[in-house]
Structure 1
Amino acid sequence: MAPLIMIGAALFPALALLVYFVTSDRFPEPKGAILGTFFLGVAIALPVLAIVLPLGAAIEPEISHPLALAGAQAFLLAAIPEEVFKLAVLLLYCRRHKAFDEPMDGLVYGVTASLGFAALENLLYVLGGGDGWIGIAVIRALSAVPGHAMLGAIMGFYVARAHFEPRRARAMIAAALLVPTALHGLYDFGLIASTLTEDGTWVLLGLAMLLIELVFALRLRRRLRRDQATLLAAAAG
């Protein structure tokens, strides 16, 4: 029974957030497209690990300064590879789907891909947490999992702008990668630096980034829902 409870605790935050964002779309996406995007988000863990494990083994022993090591782990071994592959899912699968036909779709698919990755990552952390798995599950349900969701929303917003504003496509795709990567990297840097330097004040940087991600993503969601409401009102009139 315990393993089932652990699995449920690990997956519930990602699935709850997924339902929240998918149902917030006034023009719902096909279930097949949502499931496909979610499982592609799960699948990108393989190429991410294939890059991160040998890269980490190569560079970590060469870095002695704790803040430099925190930066390498946060950006080179986490934020950059993870956000690159999430963006690949959006550009190579979601954006090409016939259901990708209005701006909210970018946000929904971005969240879905990110939560696929977050669900697997969270499962691995919780199952590997030993006797402290409950604490890990609670902390990550309030931090890392929603953080992934918000970063996916931000990325998806810019991908949608690239799709529907072709003249600005290059700039928007660049923003779709750079903005989430910067927020993700700074969040991880704060948490890792607090551990490596034994200076808990670095955690404040991570918490600040998480708050920025939350406010930014929810504002984008409200903006896109207002746009959808306007379209519905125009169609009804």
Structure 2
Amino acid sequence: MLAIALIVALSILPSVLYMVWFRNSEKYERERWRPLIGIFLWGAFGGVALALILEVILEELLPLDAVDSLVYPGFFIAAVIAPIIEEFAKPLGLRFVRREINEVEDGLIYGAAAGLGFAAIESLGYSLSSGIPVAILRAVISTPVHAGMAALTGYGMALVLVKKRSGWVLMGCYVCAVVIHGISNFFIGWAGSSEKVGIILASIAIELAAVIGLVVFVRKRIKRLDSKRPYLSPAGRLLPRAAGAGGTSRVLLCEQVGCGASGRG
């Protein structure tokens, strides 16, 4: 019983802590908890369910027998099929909170939340069948990697919604997430199927590099974008987050018409 409780904690708690950390990386106009938790739950349940359904369908439709064991057993599904489907399913829920995305960094935060919800349930499933060591490994590697990859697609979506960039920008961010996911899964599978210490150590090193790179990129990008627009009144007071007509934030209205120290026009 204690082992199960520990596995549950190791699977879910890191995702929650990362979500809080990314959310609090913003100094101004932080995201509201309700939609953020909603996106986390989408990733945990909607994203996981959709990914499972699509993966089963594709495995039935595509002739994978010839290529799935090309490098190691399960290679094609892990390194190609799963990344394409999961990086589509995780951030799909951002469409439900698109009115909340009025800054580019919002896409990074909501995308990360979706990825973290997905990682929590996926880690729980793997760890309950494989034990505490897998739970620890996934908490250290898989959880932040899932967050970072989904954040990339969320970033692309925010660029389209906020900056009115081309849909190709979103597609490019999605492709980047898929490629990183594919490389990550490839090395995880390679390490798991190999008995050579060198391959295992090299795979772990690559995974840790991916973790550090993605986490640093997402957090620094959030902070940098947030710092470019200090949400302060002319008197230097922090303006509250509030939505105006058409989803325009009160901050933006204040910038357009000018606000006094109270934040009112």
Same fold per TM (> 0.5)?
Answer: yes
Contact map agreement 1:10 1:119 (CA 8 A) in 2 = yes
Provide the C-alpha distance between the structure 2 equivalents of 1:216 and 1:66, rounded to a whole number of angstroms.
Answer: 29
- Greater relative contact order, per chain length (Cα 8 Å cut-off, separation 6+): 1
**CA displacement, residues 64-113 of structure 1 (integer Å, 9 cap, x when unaligned):** 744175541223332111001123222x223x22x211111011101000
CA distance in 1 between partners of 2:192 and 2:218 (Å):
33
How far has the Cα of 1:223 moved from its partner?
3.4
Separation of aligned partners in 2, 1:64 and 1:226:
42
Q: Secondary structure at the match of 1:232?
A: coil
The structure richer in helix per residue is 1
Query: Gapped runs of 5+ residues in structure 1?
Result: none
Q: Contact conserved, 2:40 with 2:117, CA < 8 A, in 1?
A: yes
- How far residue 158 of structure 1 moved from its aligned partner, in angstroms, is 2.1
Match of 2:177 in 1: 180
The reply on whether 1:55 has 2:55 as its aligned counterpart is no
TM-score (norm 1): 0.84
Q: Percent identity?
A: 23
Aligned residue pairs total 230
Q: Could you tell me how far 1:206 is from its partner in structure 2?
A: 6.1
Q: Which has the larger radius of gyration?
A: 2
The amino acid of 2:117's aligned partner reads: G
Look up the match of 1:227: 225
Relative to structure 1, the CA distance from residue 170 to residue 101 in structure 2 (aligned partners, 3 Å threshold; closer, same or farther) is same
How is 1:1-237 mapped onto 2 (pairs within 5 angstroms)?
A: 1-2=1-2, 3-26=4-27, 27-42=29-44, 43-56=46-59, 59-63=63-67, 65-67=69-71, 71-90=75-94, 92-94=95-97, 96-97=98-99, 99-129=100-130, 133-166=131-164, 168-196=165-193, 198-199=195-196, 201-203=198-200, 204-205=202-203, 207-208=205-206, 210-212=208-210, 214-232=212-230, 235=233, 236=236
Question: Contact conserved, 1:191 with 1:202, CA < 8 A, in 2?
Answer: no
Runs (5+) with no aligned partner, structure 2: 238-265
Change (3 A) 1:197 1:59: farther
Q: CA deviation at 1:50?
A: 1.3
SS at match of 1:143: helix
Alignment partners' CA distance in 2, 1:117 and 1:102 = 24
Q: TM-score under structure 2 normalisation?
A: 0.76
Cα distance in 2 for partners of 1:59, 1:207 equals 33
Alpha-carbon distance in 1 for matches of 2:194, 2:127: 25
Question: Is the contact between residue 111 and residue 152 of structure 2 (CA under 8 Å) also seen in structure 1?
Answer: yes
Deviation at 1:209, TM superposition (A): 5.2
Cα distance in structure 2, aligned partners of 1:50 and 1:230: 41
Structure 1 residue 54 displacement after superposition: 4.6
Q: In structure 2, do the counterparts of structure 1 residues 103 and 144 end up closer, same or farther at CA, with 3 Å as the change threshold?
A: same
